[in-house]
Structure 1
Amino acid sequence: MLMVDLVPATERTDAIQSFVSQETPIVRVYDSDGAVGTGYCYTIGTGGPSTIELLRRTLAPALIGRDADRIEAIWRDLLYLTHATSVGAITSLALAAIDTALWDLRSRKTAIPLHKLAGGAQERVPVYTTEGGWLHLPIEAIVEDSLAVRARGFKGAKIKIGRPIAEDVARLGALRDAVGADFEIFTDANQSFRIDDAIRRVAAYAPFGLGWIEEPLAADDLHNHAALARRSDIPVAVGESLYSLRQFNAYCHAEACSIVQVDVARVGGITPWLKVAHLAEACNIAVCPHFLMEIHAPLCAAVPNGKWVEYIPQLDPITTSRLRIEDGQAIPSEQPGLGIDWDWDAIGHRAVEGTGWTVGADLSPRAS
C-alpha cells in the first residue's frame, strides 16, 4: 500500500472549504495464484495518512489467508474488526481501498468488466462537469466553461452556490440565459445553509429550472432535509457525506432527498455502494454519485437508476487510461477490472514518503 498526493490543476473552492489536494491511498491485493487487484480511496487534503495507518496496522493483516472470492464476508468481518471506529470517514475510506481492490481482482480473474460483473444495466451514462463552476470564479468564466462543455456534448454543469442570495440568483440567471433550457444546471451548497436560509433560497432559485440543490444543510440534519424537501420545487441531493447503508436508508424513507449521491470511497467500497444503489432503486430515486468518475462510470452503468456521472479528471496524472466520453455519455471500459490503467512509474515518483514505499521505486506488478 502507498499514498500519492494529487494537487488539483485548478483552484477549487466552495462555500465552506478549498479542495487543496487529493490524498490517494492505493492498495494492491495478491491472490495465491499470483493475480493482483488494485483499489483506492481519497481525501481532499486531510486524513490520508490515518487511512494508511488503519490499513497497515489493522485491516491489511486481517486479509492474509482469506478467500478473495468471499468479498461480502471480508467486508463485513473488517467492519466488525473496526467496530469501535465505525461508522466513520477514515474507516469507510480504508474499507473502500480494500473492497475496490477485491472487486478489481474478481473482475480480472473472471475476465468480466466491472459494469457487467456488477449488474450490466446500461451501456452508457450522461456526464456533467463540475470543474468550471467553483464559487470563486466570476460568472463570465462559468458561462464560458459551460458553453464549451455543451459544445463537446456534455448535458449539464454544476455551479457552487453560497454567495448572498441576490448574487447567487444573478449568477444562475446569467448561466441559464447563456446555455438555454435544454442544458441541465445543478447547484451545490456544500452543507452551508441553515433551514431558514435554505427555504428562502430554494424559492429564489426555483425559476431557473435546476436539476438539483446538493447538500443544502449539514449532512446529519435529516429532519430539516425532510422539511426542506417537502417545501422545495428543486430536487434535493445528498450522499457524498453519508457513510453507511443505514444512513441512506434513513434519508430515503424519510423522503429527505430525491437524488442519491453515494460515493464509493466514503461509503466503504463497491459492496455497500451497490446496496445503496438498489435501495434507491426500490425507492424510485436516481443515483448520481459524487466524484471518482473513473470508477463511478462503470458502477452507474451497472444499475438501472444510475443517472449522471460527475466529470472531474483527478486521476489523469497517475493513469494511462482515460474515461471514454462520446456525445456527453460516459462509456464504461470493456477491459476486466475497475477500468483504470495505473501508471506505476508516475505513482512511484509521487508516492508520499512514510506510507509504505520508497519514493521513485519501481511499483510495477513484476517488481512487487
Structure 2
Amino acid sequence: MKITRIHARPVMVPLKRPPRAASGEIPEAPLVLIDLETDAGVVGCAYVFTFTRAMLAPTVGCLHALGDMIRGDALVPLEIEAKIRTRLTLLDTPGLVGIALAGIDMAAWDAHAKAQELPLVCALGGQIKPVRAYNSCGLWIDAPERVADDVEGLLAEGDFQALKVRIGRPDFAEDLDAVRRVKARIGDAVCLMSDFNQSLSMNEAILRGRALDDEGLYWIEEPIRHDNYTGCAKIASEVKTPIQIGENLLSPQEMQKAIAAQAADYYMPDVQRIGGVTGWLRAAALAHVHGLDMSSHLFPEISSHLLAVTPTCHWLEYMDWADAILAEPIRIESGHAVIPDRPGCGIAWDEDAVRQYLIE
C-alpha cells in the first residue's frame, strides 16, 4: 500500500464554550483536517490545531510540502516519520513544521490501523478499555461569581468526576475566590485540576502555589513558561500540590530534559506537539521508565487510544473542539472516554459541516 497524496483542508469551527485563559482567548477553533490517501483506497484521517486563523494557510502549506516528500512511499508509519525527520535535519521540526509532521504521523497510523481493520489501540498491541477523563471545556477566566455557574452542566455532559478551572488573573484574590466557589459547588468527591497557562513569574508561582496548597486542588498546571525546567523544578519543590506540565513539550528529547531536571510531578504531552503517535509512544516509554503519571492534552479522539497503551496512564483531557466537524464525536460515559470499536482512531468527517466551516 503506497501513499498517493496528503490532502489538507482549513476550517474555523465554532466552540460551545470559547476558551478564555490567562494566556488569551480563542473565539473559534482553527483546525486543519488531514486525509492521507493511498493507492488501495484506505484513507487515514487526523486534524491539527493551529491556535490562530492566521496560521491555517502556512500549516496547510507545510502539510502539502511534507506530503510531497512521501508520495509513493509505502504506508509504514515509523519509516515515514524517520524519512521526514532525516530530510529536515538542518531545519529541525519545531513550530508549524513539527505540527505538520505530527499530523501526517497521526494520519499514517490511522490508515495503518484501518488497513488491518483494527481500532488504533489494538493495532498498537493494546485493547479497547475505558479511559478516565476530566472535562476541560469550561471554567474559563471570568468574574469569580460567575465561574461556577456551569459546573453542573459540565459534570452532566458525561457523568464526569473531574473538572479543570483556569486561573492566573492579575489579582490572585480573584483566583482564590473562583477556586473556592467551584470547590464549594462540586464538593470533595469531584477532582478539580487548575491551570495557570504559563502566566506567572517563578516567585509569583511559588507564592500562589503555596496559597493554593490548602484548597484541595488535584494539580497546578503550567504556572510559568513551559521550557523553564529549572524554574518548574524549584516550584515543584516549594509547593505541596503536584505540578503538571508537558503540553508544550516539542519532542521526547525535551521530555527527557524536563524529567532530568525534576521539573514536574505529572506530565501531559500533546500528541501534535510531541510528534504524533510515534512521538507519543516514545514519551510514554520515558514516563514508564521513570514511573511518572502521564495524561493527555487536547485531541481526545486519538489520545484515548494512546493512553490505553500508556503504562502510566493517568487522565484524558476531554475537549469538544472538533465535535462540530466529526461524523461521530467521542463519547464520555461514567466519566470515561469510550474508545470506538471501529478501524483506526475513529475520526471521520461530517462533510456537510466541513463545507460549512471551510476556509477558502
Counterpart pick for 1:208 among 196, 209, 215: 215
Q: Tell me, yes or no, if the aligned pair for 2:144 and 2:175 is still in contact at 8 Å.
A: no
Q: Which runs of 5+ in 2 are unaligned?
A: 1-7
Per-residue CA shift, 1:244-269, capped at 9, x if unaligned? 11111111122111211111112221
CA distance in 1, matches of 2:242, 2:68: 44
**Aligned mate of 1:226, from 212, 222, 233:** 233
Deviation at 1:205, TM superposition (A): 0.5
Secondary structure in 2 matching 1:207: coil
Q: 2:301 and 2:289 mapped to 1: Cα distance?
A: 26
8 Å Cα contact 1:40-1:96 kept in structure 2: no
Q: 2:303 aligns with which of 264, 284, 296?
A: 296
Alignment of 1:271 with 2:283, yes or no, is no
One of 321, 332, 348 as aligned partner of 2:328? 321
Percent of aligned pairs with the same amino acid: 29
2:343: which partner in 1? 336
Distance (Å, rounded) in 1 between the aligned partners of 2:275 and 2:321: 20
Matching residue within 58, 78, 86 for 1:80 = 86
Q: Secondary structure at the match of 2:24?
A: coil
Alpha-carbon distance between aligned partners in 2 of 1:130 and 1:37, rounded to the nearest angstrom: 27
Structure 1 CA distance for aligned equivalents of residues 188 and 118 of structure 2: 40
Residue 76 of structure 1 deviates from its aligned partner by 1.7
**Partner residue, 2:160:** 154
Q: Give matches, 1:47-58, under 5 Å.
A: 47-56=55-64, 58=65
CA contact (8 A) 1:94 1:268 kept: no
The within-5 A match list for 1:1-368 is: 1-45=8-52, 46-56=54-64, 58-69=65-76, 71-120=77-126, 123-136=129-142, 138-151=143-156, 152-163=158-169, 164-353=171-360
Task: Quote how far apart the aligned CAs of 1:121 are.
Answer: 6.0
Instruction: Give ranges in structure 1 of 5+ residues lacking alignment.
Output: 354-368
2:17–2:138 Cα contact (<8 Å) kept: no
2:159 and 2:17 map into 1 onto residues whose CA distance is: 22
RMSD, matched Cα: 1.7
Corresponding residue SS for 1:65: coil
Q: Aligned pair in 2 of structure 1 residues 120, 141: CA closer, same or farther (>3 Å)?
A: farther
Q: TM-score, normalised by structure 2?
A: 0.92
- Aligned partner letter, 2:106: T
Contact 1:6 1:21 in 2 (8 A): yes
Match of residue 363 from structure 1: none
2:61 counterpart letter in structure 1:
E
The normalised TM-score by structure 1 is: 0.90
How many positions carry a matched residue from both structures?
350
Distance 1:101 1:11, change over 3 A: closer
The whole-number CA distance in structure 2 between the counterparts of 1:27 and 1:82 is 20
Q: Is the 8 A contact 1:188 1:213 kept in 2?
A: yes
Provide the secondary structure at the position in 2 that maps to 1:286: coil
Cα offset, 1:18, TM superposition: 0.9
Q: Distance in 2 between matches of 1:177 and 1:326?
A: 24
Provide the rounded CA distance (Å) in 2 between the counterparts of 1:265 and 1:182: 32
Say whether the 8 Å CA contact 1:139–1:175 is kept in structure 2. no
Evaluate the alpha carbon distance shift between residue 6 and residue 84 of structure 1 in structure 2; reply closer, same or farther with a 3 A threshold: farther
Letter in 2 for 1:94: A
Pairwise CA distance, 1:237: 1.0
Find the aligned partners of 2:249 and 2:152 in 1 and give their Cα distance: 32
Listed one character per residue, the Cα deviations across residues 63-111 of structure 1 (whole Å, up to 9, x for unaligned) are 1121112x11211221232234424121111001211111111111101
